[in-house]
Every structure is written in structure tokens, then in C-alpha cells.
Amino acid sequence: MSRPSLVVGGAGFIGTNVADRLLSEGRDAIVFDSLSRNGVDRNLAWLKAKHPQVEFVQGDVRDRAALRAVVERAGEVYHFAAQVAVTTSLVDPMDDFERNALGTLNLLEELRRLDNPPPLVFTSTNKVYGGLEDVRLALQNGRYEPEDALVRMRGVGEDRPLDFHSPYGCSKGAADQYVVDYARTFGLPAVVFRMSCIYGPHQCGNEDQGWVAHFLIQALNDRPITIFGDGGQVRDVLYVADLVDALRLAQDNMDALRGQAFNMGGGPENTISLLEFLGTIEDLRGAKPDVAFGEWRPGDQRYYVSDTTRFRNATGWEPRHTAREGIEALYAWLGGTPAKVAA
């Protein structure tokens, strides 16, 4: 009998989608989560209702004993548990460090103590590359674009020097490098994804993190949207089902990919600026959202687009959803009804 998949942070946005996919494929899955983030209890209730066979273990990655009890049973591990917001890390850097860096090191140590450790996929962040201040940008048609044609065509690659900004960037960056080094030094089968903007069902988006869902939720509830900066910021967005495809491929190809970090996002073909997204919301609702502007926030990149070439070449992965298709799917999941357009 195969060992269950362990989804650490499994009641969170990405974890819920991964657990759902695994359970729908007929695999056994253990959802390990502290339930400390607002809204994840609803995700867990949904998982239990759809998949009564799911095993839930409430625990914290800062508790090595709790981790040990589930890691030694796992056939594969997905690690999503984290403090996820730059702004929160500025308020309490120590808590941010303990959840992100120490929590990941605890998990790695529990894997290392096993004779045959299960393969691990860890989700890092594009914030490990810092503010990208040296990437020269031009504001064109309300969006920032790189002046360098190659960066504009392909995005930011893994050869970009690491440059941790903010306590969040430091804690996630440290965790990122620990995973890479444990694969190199101790031979752990592990892969890192440095992720751009992921969005989709079960995302508890707020002003600090998960901006695609947050903007839609605000608009649907007729509440104002605050944009920090001028709104020209550009991101590549990736629908969560496409990320789950990539995560599964990483596990399936672990022997070839182990010890590597891959940039993961929608790529140059799925970019959107904040101002353009406001236009998409207007198209969906038939009315302009109420918008206010605030000061730029520390560590906010004016432009970040993932170059996913290395992972695509290694696995054949491609996003299946365009940005518009994914945004419409999330809007519908949140309860929105697209506005009728006159013929």
C-alpha cells in the first residue's frame, strides 16, 4: 500500500487545491495545518465534505514533534505552511522568521533523519530577487515594461542574483536556500518553486497578500480597492490548477529535478498590471470599482514576470488557462455573474 501524500499547510489556498487534486486522483492525503490563518477553516470544512477520507492533523511547523509524527508516514511532501505577507513581517519579524525559516528547517531535519526520506516540493517566492532596481523600466500605456528586449520577452530567470528584501524576503529566502542546500549536502530529494502571483478558488485574499482574489472580493462587496503605488506594477499571474499541474510534475520528475529552484508563474503571455486588472473587473461587473491610491510599500517590485523556460523544458509543462480565463473562473467561484454585454 502506498504511503499518503503529506500537504503541510494543507488547509491554505494552494494546499487545499493540491489536497483536492490528490484525493480526486484516489491518493491518500494528510492535511497538516495550524489553522492560524483566517478563512482556512472553511477550506478544511470543504475538503472534508468533498473527501471524507482526508486525514487532518492540526499542528504547527514550529513543533518538530508534531512534524515527526506525520513526516515519517509520508510518501511525498508538499510544503506550503508560511507567514505570507511582507507587511506582517515588518510588524513582527521574529514570528515571520520562526514560521518561514525555522519551520522549514524543522521539516528538513525531520526528513533528514529518515533512512529513505520522501521527496519534497517547497514553494518559495519571487521576493528572493529583491526589488529588481537595476532592471530599467519604462511606463508605457499605464504599465511598467523592461527596456531590455530579452527580459521583456522572457521575464526573470533563475540566473538572477538573490537579493533578499524585507524580513519576509529574508525568511523565505533562507528557507529557499536551506532546501536547495539540503538537497546538495544531504542528498534530500527536493525542489523549490519561486512563485509569482498565484490565484484561484479557496484563496482568502486580503490587502497584504493574494491581491487578485482581494480585488475581486472588494469589488463584489462594493468596497473600495486600495492600490499602493501608481498601479502600473506588472505581474505574471498563474491559475492555481496550472500550479498544481507543475507541482505534480515536480514530484513525478524528482530524480531529474532534485536540488534545483525554478521560477514559477504565468510567464510573459499571462501578464497584467494593476490598472489593467481594474479594467477587467469593470468588464466583469459592468461598473467601475471604487479605487483609492496609497504610498508605495517596501519591497514592492514595479515589474516581475517569471521566465519558466527551464521548468517547461525539463517537464513539458504549460499553463492551461489564460489570465482572462482564470480570472473569470475565480470571479464565478466567488459568486460573481459576468455583466451582460449588449449585442
Place of cell 517596501: 298
Query: CA 317, 318, 324: angle at the middle one, nearest 5?
Result: 150
Cβ neighbourhood burial of 28 (10 Å; 0-12, 13-18, 19+):
middle
> To which residue does cell 532592471 refer?
135
Residue 198 CA: distances (Å) to CA of 32, 63, 135, 246, 299 = 21, 28, 23, 12, 18
Rounded to the nearest 10 degrees, the angle between the axes of helix 64-71 and helix 103-112 is 40
d(CA 133, CA 303): 10
Cell of residue 297, nine digits: 510599500
Q: Report CA torsion sign: 285, 44, 113, 168.
A: positive
Q: Is 168 a catalytic residue?
A: yes
Choosing from 78, 168, 182, 331, which is the catalytic residue? 168
CB 168 within 8 A of CB 89: yes
Q: Give first-to-last CA distance, the chain, whole Å.
A: 58
Q: Which residues are catalytic?
A: 168
